Amino acid sequence: MRYYGGKEKLLDLIEIGVKKTELNHGAKFVDLFAGTTIVAQHFKKKGYTVIANDFLEFSYALAKTYIELNEEPKFLKLKKYLEVGQIDKNYVIGYLNNLSPKKGFIFDNYCPNGKGQRQYFSNENGQKIDAIREKIEEWKNLSVISELEYYYLITAVLEAVNLVSNVAGTYSAYLKIWDQRAIKPLILTSPEIIPSKRKNKAFKKDANQLIKEVKNIDILYLDPPYNSRQYAANYFILELIAEGWFGTKKPVANGKTGMINYDHQLSEYCYKGRADKALDNLITNVNAKYILLSYNNEGVIADSEIKRIFTKKGKVQLFKKTHKRYKSINQKENDPQNTEERLYFIETSLAIKRANKLDGGTWLQNSFSIWRDIAKNQEEIKLKHPAIFPLQLSERIIDVLTNGSGKNILDCFAGSGSTLIAGLKKGMNVYGIDISDEFQKLFFKRINNHYLPYKDSGKIKYFVKDAREITKYIEPNSIDLCLTSPPYWDILNARRSADLKIGRNYTNKTQDIGNIESYNNFIAELKKIMTEVAKTIRENGYCVMVVMDIRKGSKFYPFHSDVARIMEEIGLTFEDLLIWDRQKEYNNCKPLGYPYKFIVNKVHEYILIFKKYGHNK
């Protein structure tokens, strides 16, 4: 659609801001000045829950069709009214296209042979618009089409009108010489609906009023008018066709251009000296995690004023792009050919308080106490590490317990580095410590051979040291999340009871707690290590330990309970636990103890979640 405020060529700039939020699809995206809904459509296609608003009727029609409508209209009542056997969108569009021309309001006021003698449309197209628009209004008044079906058909008319209008771009004036597009016949086509299962919604309200009503916004996108051009005036023909002329008080076509009076739809954002006050008022009432504002260097609000207003909500970041300037009728040869398009990005205090970046649906799925869908990838399967846990597990835990990139992730039993690789994939700084230089080499081999694109996405520190001395290498109170899996005592030196797989220990080093023979001594040494690790975790940071209970011979050792006990003795709070169901990996289980003593085949592990609270628990 020809529209001077359209953002189709600036979607890449807007994407920069949206990606920076790291909010997953399903998050609530609010486009408060939707216009032709190009931006709203883009993020609906990406799976966001979209709210689109504009106080112009033609924009509202587009939003009803492309944002709120999630499936093709059925026209079931119209089918009964027209007494036809089959009906779909194409039948209805064809029906309207085949209506006999009719001389009505559009012909009289905006066609050359009408009384207004204006030439926005050819005589033939003006009569087609009249016939089609009146028929749609008739169906609406008879209640044989729903509200969404009504706006779907209005959208079809608007898009067809846009293609045959005899204008340069806006409707503030018509061309004296006929544009080749304008002499083509008007033909309606079916709007292509964007399928979605989200509860998307369209509004037609003043933006400064609606913002007081819409709460819990994840991403608020603002694209107010930049300059003195009023959209209601410049697109009055589209607004007229969307609103209709069917009430008792007919619209009046004024002056040479036939413009309708739209004083009631003037935007405060078009006035220098008033636009900044309107924006300030709007931002004061915002309840959103992130705010994105599109503006340019020619706007009526100064850059310094925009930053002052937004600073009240959070830190302001600015992204820029050079863009070809809209060519107006009165543009001079020496006027600038390009403008600097700007995207202001604000992370508010509401975003900072988020536990993570998950949308509601993913949050719900991850909150179920048993995780059954965790699996190793092909690289991990080929690795044949004695006790590797999958990247998928590490990535999910990082997603759940952190709220953005740039955090510090630690694994104090780093091994082959699954936690560190997962952290790098999420844009984190990663720190590992392990007594085995062989595992350090394996970690970097994995990075270089399989995960090289993530190598520079964060800091990497891997120390070949004893974890009991971790505070020599990791600063106190610096770690956001410690995610680790300690040795399961010396169990790797024995054959696995569930499926008789032969174990393989980590190292033969004496400082390796996996080689301690006494379980009690093993727990005591693990406590020493975790006491030092706890010092590196920041206030309100997390420590997650993936463990499995142990059976040696006839004796059962509740390892997860002992880990929970020592961690609380250290001073961390036992927040919660999850079950990692690994039954699919155990494909050769034996009936343990059969038939004399029933013994459980342990095919699950515990994910124990601890938190280091500060003074304000």
Q: What is the pLDDT of residues 371-418, one digit of tens each?
A: 999 988 889 888 866 567 899 999 999 999 998 778 999 999 999 999
Structure-token pair, residue 210: 């609606």
pTM for the model stands at: 0.69
Tokens 């038939």 correspond to 595
Cβ atoms of 139 and 78 within 8 Å: the answer is yes
The mean pLDDT value for 129-149 works out to 98
Q: In 354-478, at which residue ranges do the beta strands (DSSP E only) sit?
A: 370-371, 408-411, 429-434, 460-464
Residues in Cβ contact with 542 at an 8 Å cutoff, skipping those fewer than 6 apart? 401, 480, 481, 482, 575, 609, 610, 611, 612
4 has pLDDT over 60: no
Distance CA 190, CA 303 (A): 42
Domain with CATH 3.40.50.150 in the chain: 1-70+197-230+267-364, 390-612
Hey, is 14 helix, strand or coil?
helix
Which pLDDT belongs to residue 157? 98
DSSP 580: E
Residues pairing with 49 in the sheet: 28
Query: What local confidence, expressed as pLDDT, does residue 318 receive?
Result: 94
User: Other C-beta atoms within 10 Å of 271: how many?
Assistant: 17
What pLDDT score was predicted for residue 331? 54
- Please report, rounded to a whole number, the percentage of residues in the chain having pLDDT higher than 90: 75
For 324, phi then psi, to 5°, come to -65, 130
DSSP per position, 67-136: II--S----HHHHHHHT-S---HHHHHHHHHTSPP---HHHHHHSTTSTT---SS-HHHHHHHHHHHHHH
Burial class (CB in 10 A: 0-12, 13-18, 19+), 489: buried
Report, as an integer, the average pLDDT of 15-40. 91
Q: Where are the alpha helices (DSSP H) in 341-410?
A: 349-352, 360-367, 378-383, 391-401
User: According to DSSP H, which parts of 303-348 are helical?
Assistant: 303-311
pLDDT of residue 274: 95
Residue 190 has a pLDDT of 97
Average model confidence (pLDDT) across the chain = 91
Q: Closest by alpha carbon to 420, among 379, 464, 449, 451?
A: 451
Closest CA to 416 of 395, 394, 385, 390: 385
Q: What is the pLDDT of residues 408-454, one digit of tens each?
A: 999 999 999 999 999 999 999 999 999 999 999 999 999 999 999 99
Q: What per-residue confidence (pLDDT) applies to 335?
A: 66
Classify domain 390-612 by CATH architecture: 3-Layer(aba) Sandwich (3.40)
pLDDT digits (tens, 9 = 90+) for 463-483: 999 999 999 999 999 999 999
The residue that leads in pLDDT, 194 or 615, is 194
Q: Which of 85, 86, 102 is nearest to 136 (CA)?
A: 102
Residue 573 CA to its chain's centroid (Å): 32
pLDDT at 544: 98
Left if phi > 0, otherwise alpha if psi is -120 to 50, otherwise beta: which for 404?
left
DSSP 169: S
Q: How confident is the model at residue 327 (pLDDT cuts 50, 70, 90)?
A: low
CA separation, residue 29 to residues 11, 51, 84, 145 (Å): 14, 6, 40, 29
Residue 499 has pLDDT above 70, yes or no: no
* pLDDT range class, residue 616, cuts 50, 70, 90: very low
Residue 326 has pLDDT above 60, yes or no: no
Sign of the C-alpha dihedral computed for residues 302, 304, 310 and 316 taken in this order: positive
Tokens of 317: 């970041």
Q: What's the helix, strand, coil split of the chain in %, to 5?
A: 40, 20, 45
User: Is residue 269's pLDDT more than 60?
Assistant: yes
What is the torsional sign of CA 406, 410, 416, 418? negative
Q: Is the preceding omega at residue 225 within 30 degrees of 0, hence cis?
A: no
Q: What whole-number percentage of the chain has pLDDT above 70?
A: 93
As a whole number of angstroms, the distance between CA 537 and CA 482 comes to 7
Which of 460, 482, 458 is closest to 470 using CA atoms?
A: 482
Distances from the Cα of 202 to the Cα of 33, 47, 65, 272, angstroms = 11, 16, 9, 29
Q: Is the pLDDT of residue 26 over 90?
A: no
Provide the token pair at 584. 């699919």
The predicted structure's pLDDT at residue 208: 97
Q: Where are the alpha helices (DSSP H) in 165-246?
A: 207-210, 231-234, 236-243
Q: Mean pLDDT across the stretch 280-307?
A: 95
**Greater model confidence, 515 or 498:** 515
| Among the ranges given (228-237, 385-394, 409-418, 550-559), the one the predictor scored with the smallest mean pLDDT | 385-394
Measure the CA–CA gap between 148 and 154, rounded to whole angstroms.
Answer: 10
**pLDDT tens-digit profile of 344-376?**
999 998 887 778 888 888 999 999 999 999 988
Which three-class secondary structure state does DSSP give residue 358? coil
Arithmetic mean of pLDDT, 41-68 = 96
What would be the CATH architecture of the domain defined by 1-70+197-230+267-364? 3-Layer(aba) Sandwich (3.40)
